[in-house]
Amino acid sequence: MRSYVLFEAFTDTCHMLMINLRKYYIYSLSNVLKLCYSIIFLTLISFSYPLNGNCNKECLIIIWKDIDSSKYPLEGSESVESPLPVYSFHKIPYDLANPDTKYILPDFLQEISGMSYYDKDKIACIQDEKAIIYILTLEKKKITSKYYFGKGGDYEGIAIAGKTAFALKNCGEIYEIENFNKKDRKVKKYKTPLSLKNDTEGLCFDPGTNSLLIVCKGSQSIEKENAFEGHRSIYSFDLEEKKLNKKPHYLIDLKKIDNYKDYSLFTKFSIKIAKKLRLIENEIIFQPSGIAIHPIHDEIYIISNIGKLLIVLDRSGKVLDVKDLDSKLFIQPEGICFSPGGDLFISNEGQGGKGYILRFKYQRH
Q: Residue 226's pLDDT is what?
A: 81
Cβ 130 vs Cβ 175: under 8 Å: no
* pTM, full prediction: 0.73
Q: Residue 16's pLDDT is what?
A: 55
Q: Residue 318's pLDDT is what?
A: 93
Q: Residue 43's pLDDT is what?
A: 55
Q: Residue 311's pLDDT is what?
A: 95
Tens of each residue's pLDDT in the chain, 365 residues: 444 444 555 555 555 555 555 444 444 555 555 556 555 655 554 544 444 444 444 444 444 444 444 444 444 444 433 333 344 557 899 999 999 999 999 999 999 999 999 988 999 999 999 999 999 999 999 999 999 999 999 999 999 999 999 999 999 999 999 999 999 999 999 999 999 999 999 999 999 999 999 999 999 999 877 888 888 999 999 999 999 999 999 999 888 877 666 555 555 555 566 556 555 555 567 889 999 999 999 999 999 998 899 999 999 999 999 999 999 999 999 999 999 999 999 999 998 899 999 999 999 87
